[in-house]
A and B are shown apart, each in its own frame.
Chain A
Amino acid sequence: MNIPQTGEIFEILSKGQFISSNSADHNLRKLYDIINDENNFDELCDYFQAINFILERGDEYFFFSKSEIKAELDRKIEIAYKWIDILDFLKAYDNSFGSNFRFDYSHMAGQIGRDVNLKDKLEGLRKYTGEGSYLERIKNLVGLLVKEGLVELENEITNQYKVVASFGYMERLVNSINIPNELQNEIPQ
C-alpha cells in the first residue's frame, strides 16, 4: 500500500461525502486525481473492499457504498424524500442548477421574494431549513448542501458557491425512479 492519502480519502468518503473532479477545494481535486488514476483506483478498491467499503465511481465523482448497510428502509425513504424536496426547489430556482453551476444565497433569497412558486417550495422545506428570514433559511439550506459535499464555497468575499459533480448523484437517484407510462398521463401538467 503506497498511497499516502488513503486515510484522508477514507475520512471523507466514510462520512457519506463525495470527492468531485471539479471541487473548488484544491486538495479535494488532488484526491480526485489520485483516485482517478487507474492503478490507484484498483488498489484503493481492494483496500476498501477488505474493510467492507465499496469505492464507487460516478460521473466525475467518487463515493462509498457497502454490500449491506445499517440504515433502515424508513431512514432511506426519509433521506430520499428530503432530496426530492430540495432538488425540486433548486431546479425551480434555476433550471440549470447542476454541476458547475454558480450561485450566491443573497441572489437566491432575493429571487424568493419575487417568485411565489419558489416561496411556496421554500415553505415546504421548513423541516430542513428551520424558521427565520428567507436569507437565514437559504443559508441553512446551503449549509446542508455543503455538509453533504454537493456544493462548495468558491469565493469567500462574494459568497459565491459552486455546485460540484457529486450533485449528479442526487439527479441519478431521482432518475432511477421509474414512473409507469400510464401514471405519467395522470399527473397534471
Chain B
Amino acid sequence: MLTFNSIKELIKSLDWSKDLLSEMFEKRNSFSYKYEMALEILEEDRIEKLIEKEVLRRNGAFLEIDEKYLQFFELVLEVNEQVSTAFIHENIQHVKESINYYLKENGSDKQYSYLKVIKSSLQKIGRITHRSIIDLNRNIENTFKTEPTYKVKIAKLENFDIKRKDIEFLIQQTEKLVTEEELTFFKAALDEELKRITNSLRIKLNEGRHNLIETQKQIINYLNQIKQQSEFIEKIRQIKYLRDQFELKSKTNFLEVLSNNNSVIFEPKSSYPLKLSIDYLQTDEAYQSILKISKKFTNGHKNIALAEAIEDFYLVTETEEEIFINLEEVKNGFMASGNNLYDFVQSYRFPKDVSFEERLTFFCQMISQYENEFNIADTYNKKNEIEFVMVYPKNN
C-alpha cells in the first residue's frame, strides 16, 4: 500500500483530482459512479494513482471514494448523513485518559502537552455534539419528508430517537466529567484557557440539551402525523370496502352522520336570480344586453316547427238528422181526442214511419209514463190477435 509522504503531496493530489472528487462526492448518494464515467473527467493513469494511494476504491465496474476521505469530506463540509455518537464517546475516553496521564506526570513539559490534548478534545466534544444535533435534526426532517415507505419511515424516525438518547447520554457524561468526576484535575490545572474552554463547553452542552428536547418533540410530532396518516389510510380502505360490499349504510352509523350533517356542500348549487330594476333596463348598457337576448328570443321562435294548414274537408260540417217521437205531444193529442189509447196510437200520424211493434211499444210507454192522467178501465178488447186494456183520458 502506498501512502502519501507528506501533507503537501496529499493536498497536491487532491488538487489535480478535484474535478473528479467533487463530482463523485456530489453523486455519492444518488447513484453508483462507473469507472468509465471517471475516465471522461480524468486520465486513466491518474485514476490508477488515486486508487493506489487509496483515495479511490474500485468495486467491479464502479468507483467510489474511500471511506476515510468520504468521512473527512463530510465532516469538514458538515454534510454527513450518518450521525455518529461513537466519535464523542471516543473523545470522552481520550480526555479521561489524558487527565489520568496528566495527574500522574510530574514533568511540567509533559503535563503541558497532555493539557493541550485535553483542551483540544474538550473543544472537539463541544463542536461535534453541536454538529451531531444539527445533523440529527436535518436527517429527521429529510426522512419525514422524503422517505416514501411508511414502515421504513417509522423505523428510521425511531432510530433517530435512539440516536437522540445517545447524544443526550453523552452530554450528561461530558458534564459529569467536567463538573464531578475529574474535579481534582480541573482544580489542579490552573489554566485560564482551560477554564474558558470548559465554560464554553458547558454552555454548548446546555444549548445542546435544550435543542434535544425540541428534537424529541419534533420526532414525537412526526411519528404522530405518520400514525394519523396511516390510520386514516386504513380507515378509508375499510370504508371503501364496506361501500363496495353495500354494507356501509346498514352496518355503520353512515346514515346518522349524514343526516346530522347540514353542510351547504351537500346542497345543489343554488343561484339567486334577481329581477333587474326598471331604471337600469332603460340605460344604454342594458339596451345592448336586451338586444342580445331579444336576438336569442327571435332565433328561438324561428326554430319552432309550424303545423300545415288544416284541409278544407275537415272544416265542412256534416249533419245527421234523427227524428224523435215526443210522447208528451202524443199524449196531448190523445187527451183531446176522446178515443181509446190503443186506437189512438194505432191511427196517430207520427212524423216518421212507425211500425206496428213500435206503436205497441209507445202504447205501453204512455201507460206507464202517464198512468195518473189516464183512466184505465177494467175492460179489454181484442184486435189483430192482441188483447189490450181500454184506456181513456181522465175527465177532470
Please report the C-alpha to C-alpha distance between residue A84 and residue B244 in the assembled complex, in whole angstroms.
10
B347 to chain A, nearest CB (A): 81
A86 to chain B, nearest CB (A): 10
Binds A, one of B232-240, B367-375, B380-388: B232-240
Flag if A187 contacts B266 (CB, 8 Å): no
Please report the C-alpha to C-alpha distance between residue A75 and residue B266 in the assembled complex, in whole angstroms.
7
Flag if A95 contacts B150 (CB, 8 Å): yes
Flag if A180 contacts B252 (CB, 8 Å): yes
A144 at the interface (CB under 8 A from B): no
Binds B, one of A126-134, A153-161, A168-176: A168-176
Flag if A87 contacts B268 (CB, 8 Å): no
Flag if B238 contacts A187 (CB, 8 Å): yes
A147 to chain B, nearest CB (A): 10
Interface size for B (C-beta < 8 A) is 34
B261 at the interface (CB under 8 A from A): yes
A79 at the interface (CB under 8 A from B): yes
Hey, which bits of chain B sit against chain A, CB under 8 A?
150, 229-230, 232-233, 235-243, 248-249, 251-255, 257-259, 261-270
The one of A87, A98, A176 in contact with B257, judged by C-beta atoms closer than 8 angstroms, is A176
- Residues of chain A within 8 A (CB-CB) of B264 are 13-16, 53, 63-66, 69
The 10 closest A-B pairs by CB, nearest first: A16-B265, A64-B264, A88-B240, A71-B266, A76-B258, A65-B263, A16-B264, A69-B262, A65-B262, A76-B266
Interface size for A (C-beta < 8 A) is 46
Please report the C-alpha to C-alpha distance between residue A188 and residue B244 in the assembled complex, in whole angstroms.
13
A148 at the interface (CB under 8 A from B): yes
Flag if A71 contacts B257 (CB, 8 Å): no
Flag if A177 contacts B266 (CB, 8 Å): no
Please report the C-alpha to C-alpha distance between residue A67 and residue B254 in the assembled complex, in whole angstroms.
19
**Known: A14-B264, A77-B249, A180-B252. Contact between A84 and B243, CB under 8 A?**
yes
- Residues of chain A within 8 A (CB-CB) of B229 are 95-96, 98
- Residues of chain A within 8 A (CB-CB) of B269 are 15-16
- Residues of chain A within 8 A (CB-CB) of B249 are 77
Please report the C-alpha to C-alpha distance between residue A63 and residue B240 in the assembled complex, in whole angstroms.
26
Pairs across A and B, CB under 8 Å, 22 listed: A15-B270, A16-B267, A54-B262, A63-B264, A69-B262, A69-B263, A70-B267, A71-B268, A73-B255, A76-B258, A79-B265, A79-B266, A80-B254, A95-B233, A169-B265, A173-B257, A174-B235, A174-B236, A177-B257, A178-B252, A187-B238, A188-B241
B268 to chain A, nearest CB (A): 7
Please report the C-alpha to C-alpha distance between residue A64 and residue B266 in the assembled complex, in whole angstroms.
11
Considering only residues 44-76 of chain A, those with a C-beta below 8 Å from chain B are: 53-54, 56, 63-71, 73, 75-76
- Residues of chain B within 8 A (CB-CB) of A84 are 236, 239-240, 243
Cβ-closest chain B residue relative to A54: B262
Please report the C-alpha to C-alpha distance between residue A54 and residue B238 in the assembled complex, in whole angstroms.
32
Flag if B237 contacts A88 (CB, 8 Å): yes
Flag if A67 contacts B232 (CB, 8 Å): no
Please report the C-alpha to C-alpha distance between residue A178 and residue B235 in the assembled complex, in whole angstroms.
9
- Residues of chain B within 8 A (CB-CB) of A16 are 263-267, 269
Flag if B268 contacts A70 (CB, 8 Å): yes
Flag if B242 contacts A187 (CB, 8 Å): yes
- Residues of chain A within 8 A (CB-CB) of B268 are 70-71, 75
Please report the C-alpha to C-alpha distance between residue A81 and residue B257 in the assembled complex, in whole angstroms.
13
Please report the C-alpha to C-alpha distance between residue A87 and residue B239 in the assembled complex, in whole angstroms.
11
Flag if B257 contacts A63 (CB, 8 Å): no
